[in-house]
Structure 1
């Protein structure tokens, strides 16, 4: 199905309760887990792409309701409408539009250090109550959860070369060797695409589907996209070393998540293969 046809069908579904969608200029974003209709400045509608994602959607929606009620210093999408009673392809959740610009993908080192603190410190201060704990995801839930190492091995290794499998096995061994740490509230996907900026400040944080209680070094690892040297300055030596292990796993867990959803893992495999070519997991750390 073309993007135009898909968008037209989703607009038809939304128009039943949100007729304004026909008089504006909605745009479509296709993700691994959801197809998304964006009405800029108004709202965002997320349509689960698979039955598995739809089964998880009520819990994730409940989690977002509670996360949006936390006293965080940046905007979080709020649930506006929940229509998960509809069949797959029509079921959706509408959330508020978080204003702001996509922002930079690179920062000067000093600014990157500040960004790490601006995001990680408020998350570390959250103490989830039992109601929030009950609806949060589990670490790596999209890639097998507590069985992630086995699921990654079974799912991704068959499409790797012998040398790539050997390097992947080393990455997984490092991950399995991590010692447990006191769990903290973790966003789970602090990629630049999920940040919204006003000027030089992050004022919005999107996509809380993978929020969980776990190792805060995971969020630190995501922010290493702004520079490992900045991350080294911003966090403790222990968090930095753990972040390298989590970052090494990113392409493999991403490929696993996409394959489990029946989506092509090409961009994640290309990411992993670039690392294999230089035999650094992750490069630059």
Structure 2
């Protein structure tokens, strides 16, 4: 009999694997609704939806392995990273989903709250937070909305050799800035940014990518700490903030 593997578990979501089946249990049914509809819309390989019940989604396993994981060196080839960039471009060129995304004003307001918490709680030095808040401001400008994955960590992009076999975890998909997806994919793996952009096939302002690296790292820190994750692990969010220039 297959053992039950806990893939991720916190107060908002639990994902377990039994053999070739993943069960996603979410406290917010909206996340599962978005995930299913986004996978139907996405013009890239996604997991097969096996069945749904209230608060539970069963999906099939995606073959291959993640292109990378945050905090770990990537063993994927430059061609695999370029394929990931091409897949992201395909998503961004697809029709917009029916639901909106966050506004620039909302992102800025939330970011300021998180920066204040990081300083007041003593989690990070004020000068580090302030420097990254300045860098982040570059990304917080008007953009033309596209269909974004919304949480395109490299661990969510699966490859087999140089081929994309699937992109998982679409619960944050919405309207958004194309550069946010590119930044999320390459955060912690900046040496692979040129490969991703080669596959993406468009000119990109690197200051905006760096801005989104700072936005994501600052904004995620409190949630990660409160849910049992370590943003101060080598190569993770706090290292990204320390290396920002």
TM-score tier, shorter chain, comes to 0.7 to 0.9
Residues 182 and 114 of structure 1, relative CA distance in 2, 3 Å threshold = same
What SS does structure 2 have at the residue aligned with 1:266? coil
User: TM-score with structure 2 length normalisation?
Assistant: 0.78
1:196-239 CA-partner distances (Å, limit 9, x unpaired) = 23343111111112111010011111332361232454443335
Distance 1:76 1:138 in 2: 26
Structure 2 residue aligned with 1:36: 15
Distance 1:138 1:44 in 2: 29
Distance 2:119 2:202 in 1: 33
**Match of residue 45, structure 1, among 23, 30, 53:** 23
- Relative to total residues, which structure has the larger helix share, 1 or 2? 1
Structure 2 residue aligned with 1:12: none
**Match of residue 62, structure 2, among 99, 106, 110:** 99
Q: CA deviation at 1:276?
A: 5.1
**Match of residue 125, structure 1, among 93, 108, 121:** 93
What SS does structure 2 have at the residue aligned with 1:267? coil
Structure 2 residue aligned with 1:7: none
What SS does structure 2 have at the residue aligned with 1:81? strand
* Structure 1 unaligned regions, length at least 5: 1-22, 49-53, 85-92
Compute the RMSD of aligned alpha carbons. Answer: 2.9
- The higher radius of gyration belongs to 1
Contact 1:99 1:204 in 2 (8 A): yes
Distance 1:208 1:133 in 2: 15
What SS does structure 2 have at the residue aligned with 1:147? helix
Distance 2:5 2:43 in 1: 28
**1:229 matches 2:208:** no
Structure 1 residue aligned with 2:117: 155
Distance 1:247 1:198 in 2: 27
User: TM-score with structure 1 length normalisation?
Assistant: 0.68
Structure 2 residue aligned with 1:204: 166
How many residue pairs get aligned? The number is 230
Distance 2:59 2:25 in 1: 15
Distance 1:75 1:31 in 2: 22
Residues 77 and 207 of structure 1, relative CA distance in 2, 3 Å threshold = farther
Structure 1 residue aligned with 2:219: 253
